[in-house]
């Protein structure tokens, strides 16, 4: 199975999106090649996408997310992952009180090259990894053509 690069879905850019892009360019110009994913969102959750002759397999890191807070949809050849992380930890002991909260929402749109069989898509979440198996439709699968000799 070959890993595929993630391609962003192109959307029309409004004034706010252009302003955000301009600000990101300004920050990148100042900080150079520093790794600052929080400033320009390298994409959360992190994804691995693989493809073979019969299917796509998408793995997303979603630690702390509950399955009921994650939504997977397919429209045409665009797979959308949407969800929300709500996590709170509270500890009380002698002489101290500690509360830690983590909240955030995400949306990732992935272009899948070719037709998919939407009726057979499976999604499983285990140990913070969401695995989505997207079978290709029969017409999208590669076929071998036998060459006849003379």
HSE on the CB side for 112, CA within 13 Å?
29
pLDDT tier at 114 (50, 70, 90 boundaries)? confident
Establish if 144 belongs to a structural domain.
no
- The per-residue pLDDT for range 5-40, each reduced to its tens digit, is 655 555 555 677 778 777 777 776 776 655 444 444
Give the pLDDT of residue 5: 60
Please give the backbone phi and psi of residue 39, each rounded to the nearest 5 degrees, phi first: -80, -35
Establish if 150 belongs to a structural domain.
no
Establish if 20 belongs to a structural domain.
yes
| Cα distance between residue 42 and residue 6, in whole Å | 11
Establish if 8 belongs to a structural domain.
yes
Domain that holds residue 42: 2-137
Domain with 37 in it: what CATH number? 2.60.40.790
* Contact call for residues 136 and 79 (beta carbons, < 8 A): no
Establish if 104 belongs to a structural domain.
yes
Establish if 14 belongs to a structural domain.
yes
With 0.85 as the threshold, say if the pTM is over it: no
Placement of tokens 């045409």 in the chain: 76
Establish if 143 belongs to a structural domain.
no
pLDDT tier at 66 (50, 70, 90 boundaries)? confident
State how many domains the chain has: 1
* Residue 148: DSSP 8-state: P
Establish if 38 belongs to a structural domain.
yes
List of residues 6+ apart from 102 with CB closer than 8 A: 64, 85, 86, 87, 88
Give the pLDDT of residue 11: 53
């Amino acid at each position: 199975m070959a890993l595929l690069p993630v391609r962003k879905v192109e959307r029309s850019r409004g004034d706010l999106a252009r302003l955000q892009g301009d600000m990101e360019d300004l920050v990148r110009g100042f900080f150079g090649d520093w790794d600052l994913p929080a400033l320009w969102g390298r994409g959360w959750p992190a994804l691995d996408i693989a493809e073979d002759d019969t299917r796509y397999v998408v793995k997303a890191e979603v630690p702390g997310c509950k399955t009921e807070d994650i939504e997977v949809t397919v429209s045409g050849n665009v797979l959308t992952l949407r969800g929300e992380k709500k996590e709170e930890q509270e500890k009380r002991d002698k002489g101290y009180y500690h509360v830690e909260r983590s909240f955030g929402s995400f949306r990732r749109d992935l272009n899948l090259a070719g037709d998919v069989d939407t009726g057979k898509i499976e999604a499983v979440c285990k140990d913070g990894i969401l695995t989505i198996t997207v079978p290709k439709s029969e017409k999208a699968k590669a076929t071998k053509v036998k060459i006849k000799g003379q």
